[in-house]
Amino acid sequence: MIAPGRGRPSIMEAMPDVRTRFAPSPTGLLHIGGVRTALFEVLFAHRHGGQALLRIDDTDRERLVPGAIQSLIEDLNWVGLHFDEGPSDEEIALADSAYQGGFGIGGPAKPYVQSQRVARYREISEELIRRGHAYRCDCTPERLEKERQEQTERKEALGYSGYCRRRDVPGEVPHVVRFLIPEGRSITLPDAVKGEVRWEQIILRDPVLLKSDGFPTYHLATVVDDHDMRISHVLRADEWLSTAPLHLLLFEALGWAPPVFAHLPPVLGTDGKKLSKRHGATFLGAFREAGYLPEAILNFMALIGWSPGEGEQEEIFTLDELTRRFSLDRVNNAGGVFSYEKLKWMNGVYIRQLAPEDLEARLKPFLSAAGLAVDGEKLRRIVPHIQQRLELLPDAIPLVQFLFKESIDRDLDAMLKKGMDETTAREICRKGADALAALPEFDAASAEAALRKLADELGRPSGPVFTVVRIAVTGQKVTPPLFESIYALGQHDAASRLRETAALLGAREPA
């Protein structure tokens, strides 16, 4: 039972050397909520001049996914979260045969992969047995199942009966190691976000610390590693709060000072429920593929559950600015809402702030993935004229694809509006091609002047004339500014497309 929280404790008391850790399990892709946790870990550590560690918690052997460590580290690197200590290339390669290298970190607390620290966990489990805080258990799966059935029939809470507590099971027989939960204990956690959290009664029943295969459970491994790696502050998701009593008891049993815990509010969908795939994309890789910028993602995630200060209206912050401002005192206890629309808006803000050459570089992979043979000079010319229209990087594809195709489709009927006929449209294309090809200096301004002069010579309003030219040159009714599009396409290609359209229109005219 969790009692109501009181005021938040001092999070810096007697802990000047701040060390945090992000410890993902390589059991799948990196969730966007995990990005928020990792971000807060890095911000808090660096705000106080400390170190943020990356640790791979891979003791859940049954759920390991080959290549997951590579994916996790690539995602963290792409989003711009850099850790001061973490697994080396050698450690990662040993843990994941799919690892391709290049992201190793290293550090004095190595190894940073739990599966390579198993001897240490076994040592500590033996120490707990010697101190009387743990015991070996050789209960068979059949016996444990029988216990659960009997507890269910008696309508009791499910859990281990304690049968092996006083049996002194020898170490030579197959066994697990269980923690001896003290009876009649209450536990108080001074949480840096929730305030004081109190459990009047511990409902756990002697949980397993070391499995029969010699691997630790999460509880033993994380407590040992947090101690050995001198972690001062543990920032983790709210869902882990229920494990805090066991972790505090383990620290106490081993005579170690626990770190400061800060349980972060959940990331919610707009319906107030925990964010899940029913709301939309939830894995970081999906946002990357959708064309979000890493800077926008970090900025947006920082504001879910944290605020820069009362009365602060600004919402756009660089990572350096977030680092200077971040404080656990401003992390909310209540869940924060993940709005896909707001993230898209913020992404657009960041795209508009990019230097044109930076935006070019970020667009190229998306354009190439769309099957476009990107010409760097053409892209350079058009980027300033589409930048304000983009919210996601792939938004550029329909705007610029006409530049990178050898042939385009045209809706010729769309030209023939507002009194425009095929004969006139053909004349516009033919004479427009000649006018552009004759320009001694070619740019957007000279193209505009030549085509406006043509409209005047034909005695036609410029609007319908430019519609014909637009469709002829780009194949689209909606494009970036027309004359900038013509300039980006190039003098030769623009004139060639106008002549091609004139021929198509000529083929439609009755003999």
Q: What is the CATH number of the domain that holds 489?
A: 1.10.10.350
Confidence band for 279, pLDDT divided at 50, 70 and 90: confident
Classify residue 444: in a domain, yes or no.
yes
DSSP state of 348: H
Classify residue 31: in a domain, yes or no.
no
Classify residue 11: in a domain, yes or no.
no
Classify residue 28: in a domain, yes or no.
no
Its domain, for residue 338, covers: 278-352
Model confidence pLDDT, tens digit, residues 352-388: 999 999 999 999 999 999 999 999 999 999 999 999 9
Classify residue 6: in a domain, yes or no.
no
Confidence band for 10, pLDDT divided at 50, 70 and 90: low
Within a 10 A sphere around the Cβ of 455, how many other Cβ atoms? 18
Confidence band for 407, pLDDT divided at 50, 70 and 90: very high
Span 41-54, average pLDDT: 97
Q: What is the 3-state secondary structure (H, E, C) of 246-298?
A: HHHHHHHHHCCCCCEEEEECCEECCCCCECCCCCCCCEHHHHHHHCCCHHHHH
Claim to verify: residue 177 and residue 133 sit in the same structural domain:
yes
Claim to verify: residue 254 and residue 318 sit in the same structural domain:
no
Between vectors from CA 397 to CA 396 and to CA 399, what angle results, nearest 5°? 65
Across the chain, what does the average pLDDT equal?
93
Span 133-156, average pLDDT: 92
Say how many domains are in the chain.
4
Span 88-98, average pLDDT: 93
Among residues 264, 286, 317, the one where a domain terminates is 264
Model confidence pLDDT, tens digit, residues 436-461: 999 999 999 999 999 999 999 999 99
Residues of the chain with pLDDT > 90, as a percent, come to 82
Entry pTM: 0.91
Claim to verify: residue 345 and residue 247 sit in the same structural domain:
no
Claim to verify: residue 207 and residue 248 sit in the same structural domain:
yes
Q: Which residues on neighbouring strands pair with residue 195, listed in sequence order?
A: 191
pLDDT at position 7 is 58
pLDDT at position 4 is 45
Claim to verify: residue 245 and residue 126 sit in the same structural domain:
yes
Claim to verify: residue 337 and residue 215 sit in the same structural domain:
no
pLDDT at position 507 is 86
Residues of the chain with pLDDT > 70, as a percent, come to 96
Among residues 206, 233, 264, the one where a domain terminates is 264
Claim to verify: residue 420 and residue 395 sit in the same structural domain:
no
CA distance 80 to 294: 7
Q: Which residues on neighbouring strands pair with residue 64, listed in sequence order?
A: none
Claim to verify: residue 375 and residue 498 sit in the same structural domain:
no
CA 76 to chain centre: 8
Within a 10 A sphere around the Cβ of 504, how many other Cβ atoms? 16
Work out whether strand 176-179 and strand 267-268 pair parallel, antiparallel, or are unpaired: unpaired
Claim to verify: residue 373 and residue 337 sit in the same structural domain:
no
Burial (Cβ within 10 Å: 0-12, 13-18, ≥19) of residue 82: middle
Closest by CA to 88, choosing from 130, 56, 49, is 56
Closest by CA to 297, choosing from 331, 340, 347, is 347
Model confidence pLDDT, tens digit, residues 177-209: 999 999 888 999 999 999 999 998 887 889 999
For the question of residue 277 being annotated catalytic, the response is yes
Residue of 273, 277, 378, 453 with catalytic role: 277
Claim to verify: residue 155 and residue 223 sit in the same structural domain:
yes
Span 384-394, average pLDDT: 97
Claim to verify: residue 290 and residue 335 sit in the same structural domain:
yes
pLDDT at position 309 is 79
Work out whether strand 336-337 and strand 195-199 pair parallel, antiparallel, or are unpaired: unpaired
Classify residue 374: in a domain, yes or no.
yes
Classify residue 219: in a domain, yes or no.
yes
Claim to verify: residue 365 and residue 459 sit in the same structural domain:
no
CA distance 18 to 51: 7
Model confidence pLDDT, tens digit, residues 456-490: 999 999 999 999 999 999 999 888 999 999 999 99
* Res. 12: pLDDT tops 80: no
pLDDT at position 11 is 47
CATH number reported for the structural domain that contains residue 122 in this entry:
3.40.50.620
Confidence band for 345, pLDDT divided at 50, 70 and 90: very high
Classify residue 373: in a domain, yes or no.
yes
